[in-house]
Structures are given as structure tokens and as C-alpha cells.
Structure 1
Amino acid sequence: MSVTHRYKAAWEGFWQEAPEGRGTVFWDSEPALTSGVHLALLEPELADRGLPLVDLGCGNGTQTRYLADRLPRVLGVDLSAAAVRQARGGDELGEVRFEQLDAADGAAVARLHAELGDANVYVRGVLHQAEEADRQALADAVAVLVGERGRAILVELAEAAGPLLLELAKDPGGPPPKLRPVFEHGIAPGRVADAALLGHIAAAGLDVLASGELPLTTTEYTADGSRLELPSKWLVVGHAVGHNE
């Protein structure tokens, strides 16, 4: 199995047209406000900090490079070849490995796990905009990559973000400039109900070890000049056996 053709084409088109450089796309906010916050939530639950970390859906690699400065082995993977090219181009010293990966392709994910062994995984904003037919395969990919010892943190837009995004899309002046390309390429964020997210995790055979809510920072600003933030849910998942041993 692999992701739907329409979904893959949407992301390839998006990244082919996305300007290079940090902060140019809607979700590419400063790592201190995103992956730094999420790493602090993941670290207390890590069974083995020495495992490699896979940034699943790494985009242009901004967050991956931040994580690579703080963890021993980090790999960024993305569905889009154009995104991977941007990520590699932004890594001027060539210190981080970036690879193209269709995470709904079970055989490809199994090969990566065979290479790396159990891994910790960072997933930010992947399931909430995926096609419905792809979501369980993506959750299953996380389960394969973490294996028995790894942990994953998933940060996804909460169900409550959907109406807020719809309101932005219907603004008489159009959506914010950095959000507009997302809609133009047929990507629909905020599609997964909170209960459905938990259902996918359970069906993948993963246990929720910690969870919470926090605002997800974007690179856009509201009319009053404040940073646009969207409600999100975060989950640290893995296998409860040996939790924090």
C-alpha cells in the first residue's frame, strides 16, 4: 500500500512551489516554539534516549536540524521529493540525513526499521491533513518504527481547529498568505476528530503514555499583530511494558 495519488501529488506540488528558507510556509515556525516544546514533552517518556529519532514528515527540515543538535542520531523523512531537496539544501554542513519515504508503504517502513532498529519518532501535523484512506497506515508506520523500545510524540491539530481554519479560508480578503497555498493545493488541515486520532493509535497497537493540549504556533499573524496559534493535541505513544524503566 502507498498513499493516494492525489495526496502525494498535492504535497509534491506544494513543496515544488514553496519558497526556500525557514519560516516561509504556514507551519514552519521557530523550533524553540515547536519541536523544542515537543521534545521537552517527549523526553520524560523516553525509554532509551540513545535510539535514533525519525522526524516523520520533516518538510524542509527546520525542526529536524534543531533536533539533530540535541539528539545523537536524527533522520528526517518526507513523502515529497521536493521537500527532501529543500531539507538537504538547508543543511549547509551536510550533518543531517534526509530521505524520501512514503510512510503508508508498509514494506518501505519495515526496511527502514530493519536498518535503524527501534527508533523514537516525531510526528507533527501529519495525520490531521492526510486522506482518510491513509491515516491508519500512517499510524501503523509509527508503530513499526518505534518497535518495542521506542517512543513517539504525535502533535496534531485538535478537532476545534477545523472551524477556525474554515473561518480563515472564508475571510472576504482570502486566507492568510502562507495558508493560501495549502488550500490551493487541495490540502485540508484539521480533518481528524479527536476520538478518531485515538482510534488510529489504538488500532496500531500503541499505548498512550502521556497526552495533553497546547497551542500550535504558525508563522502567520492575526489582524492585531499577534501570532496565529491553533489548538492541538499531543500524545506520547509506545508500548506500556517497561514504561520508564
Structure 2
Amino acid sequence: MDVSRRYRESWEGFWAATSDTPGEAIWDSDPSFTSVPDSELLLPYADATLPVVDLGCGNGTQTRYLATRFARAIGVDLSHAAIEHARGADTAGTAEFEQIDLVDLDAVRALRERTGDTNVYMRAVIHQSEPQDRPAVAAAVAELLGERGRAFVVELTSASKEVLQRAAAEPGGPPPKLRRVFDHGLKPAGAGDEEVPEVLRAAGLRILADGDTALVQTEQLRDGTRIELPSRWYVLARE
């Protein structure tokens, strides 16, 4: 099974139209807002001598930071253009990057065969996946963990829809970076609050810890307020 052609083309179009300028993608926040605090939540449960796989890595900003905390870091994304950005930005060669469709279980299994048990970092992938693909995305996390790996998954909550709606309703329309998301047919905050933990559990994942947070964006409202999207994080192990 693969993602739909429309979904794939939406992401290829987005990343192909995105420059190498840090922060041009609305979610491309500095690691100090994202993978730094996220790692502090994950590491008490995880073996840092195992690799970490950053699922939905985009241009690799978070992957490069994760490479400083784990023995090895591999960034994975559906989009070829995103992986090209990630490889180009990693001038020091601190991480590895591969184009993989998470819905393609054979491709995910092949990655696990190459890496062994891994930790997983996944930021805001389930909520924007097409509904029929969300179970497969969760199953990819479980497949990669094996017995020893641990995962950190963070997803938008329904409250983030209200934030996005307010931003889109501002005079003049959505701020430029948010407009680009909509123009490419991407649909954030698509998963319900109960759907995410249900999908994770159905994939054979056990929730070790969870809590509320916010995904800090690189865009601001017209009054200068930074857009922050209410979210929930989970530390997970395979049952």
C-alpha cells in the first residue's frame, strides 16, 4: 500500500517550492523549541546508543540535532524534494536521510533490517496524514521500535484548529507561510483528539508517558504574536 498520488504530489509541490532558508516552512522551528525539549522527555525512557529515526523529517532541522543526542540519526520523508533539502543542509554529514513512504510496510521493514531496533521521533505526521493511512503510519512506528526502541510522538489537538482558523481569518487572509500550506492542499489538524492514542494503541504501542505541549511555528499573526499550535506528546514502547 502507498499514499495517494494527490497526497504525494502535495508534499512534493510544497518542498519543491520551498527554499533552503531556515524557517521558511511554517513548522521548521529552531530545535530549541522542538527536538531539544522533546529529547529531554524521551531520553529517560530511551537507550541513546540505539539509532533514532526522524519520521517526516522534512528539511532535516530536527534530525541534525537528534544526531547529537543519539548514536546515529536517520531522517525519513515521503518527499524527494524534502530529502534533497535535508542532505544539502547537512554540510557536516551528521545525519543520514532516506526517502521512504511510511505507508509502504515493505520499505519500513527494509529500513528496520538495516538499522535494527531504533528509537523514533515523529512530530506532527499522523494529524496531516490521510485518514486511511493513519493506522499504517502508527504501524511503521511500532515496526521500527522492535523490542528495545522507544518513540516520541507529538500531534496537534483539536484546539489547534481554532488557532489556525483565527490566523486564516485575519485581515488580508492567512499569513504567508500558512497560506503556502493551504495552497499546496495540505490539511493540518485532521485527526481527532481520541483518534491519535487509539491509532497508536491499535498498532501495538504502549503509552509510557504523555502530556500537553504546543508546536511553535515560524510564522506570526499580524500583531506579532508567534503562532503556537496546541498539541499532545506521547512516549511509546512496543507491547
TM-score category (smaller protein):
over 0.9
Report percent identity of matched pairs: 51
Partner in structure 2 of residue 133 of structure 1: 132
- By how many angstroms is 1:163 displaced? 2.2
CA distance in 1, matches of 2:222, 2:79: 32
Specify the SS of the correspondent of 1:24.
coil
Give, in angstroms, the shift of residue 196 of structure 1.
Answer: 0.3
- In structure 2, relative to structure 1, the CA distance for the partners of 1:126 and 1:181 (3 Å cut) is same
CA shift for structure 1 position 24: 1.1
Output aligned runs, 1:152-191, within 5 Å.
Answer: 152-191=151-190
Deviation at 1:88, TM superposition (A): 0.4
Partner of 2:116: 117
Q: What amino acid sits opposite 1:151 in the alignment?
A: R
Residues 76 and 99, structure 2, Cα contact 8 Å, conserved in 1: yes
For 2:36, the aligned partner's letter is G
Mapped to 1, the partners of 2:67 and 2:146 lie a distance apart of 21
Asked whether the 8 Å contact 1:214–1:233 carries over to 2, the reply is yes
C-alpha distance in 2, partners of 1:128/1:147?
24
Deviation at 1:27, TM superposition (A): 0.5
How far does residue 190 in structure 1 lie from its aligned partner after superposition?
A: 0.5
Secondary structure of 2:93 counterpart: coil
Q: What is the TM-score normalised by the length of structure 1? A: 0.95
| Deviation for aligned residue 1:22 | 1.3
Alpha-carbon offset, residue 200 of structure 1:
0.4
- Provide the rounded CA distance (Å) in 2 between the counterparts of 1:3 and 1:172: 35
- Distance of 1:101 and 1:176 partners within structure 2: 31
Distance (Å, rounded) in 2 between the aligned partners of 1:56 and 1:138: 9
Q: Deviations over 1:36-87 (max 9, x none)?
A: 01111111111x2211000000000111111112221000010000000000
Equivalent runs, 1:185-204 vs 2, <5 Å: 185-204=184-203
1:115-174 Cα offsets, whole Å, 9 max, x none, are 111100000010111111111100000000001111111111111111221232233311
Partner of 2:21: 21
Distance 1:33 1:2 in 2: 32
Please list every run of 5 or more consecutive structure 2 residues that lacks an aligned counterpart in the other structure: none
Give CA deviations for 1:162-205 in whole Å, capped at 9, x if unaligned. 12212322333111111111100110001111100011001101
Instruction: Give per-residue Cα distances to partners, 1:93-127, cap 9 Å, x unaligned.
Output: 22311110101100000111111111000000101
Q: Any conservation in 1 of the 2:54–2:120 contact (CA below 8 Å)?
A: yes
TM-score (norm 2): 0.97
Q: Which amino acid is 1:32 matched to?
A: S
Aligned to 2:40: 40
Check the 8 A contact 2:167/2:221 in 1, yes or no. no
What residue is the counterpart of 2:215 in the other structure? 216
Residue 9 (structure 1) aligns with:
9
Report the counterpart of residue 66 of structure 1 in structure 2: 65
Q: Which residue type is aligned with residue 77 of structure 2?
A: D
Partner Cα separation in structure 1 for residue 56 and residue 164 of structure 2: 21
The answer on whether the counterparts of 2:54 and 2:63 sit within 8 Å (CA) in structure 1 is yes
- Which sits farther off after the overlay, 109-118 or 231-240? 231-240
Corresponding residue of 1:243 = none
Distance 1:25 1:226, change over 3 A: same
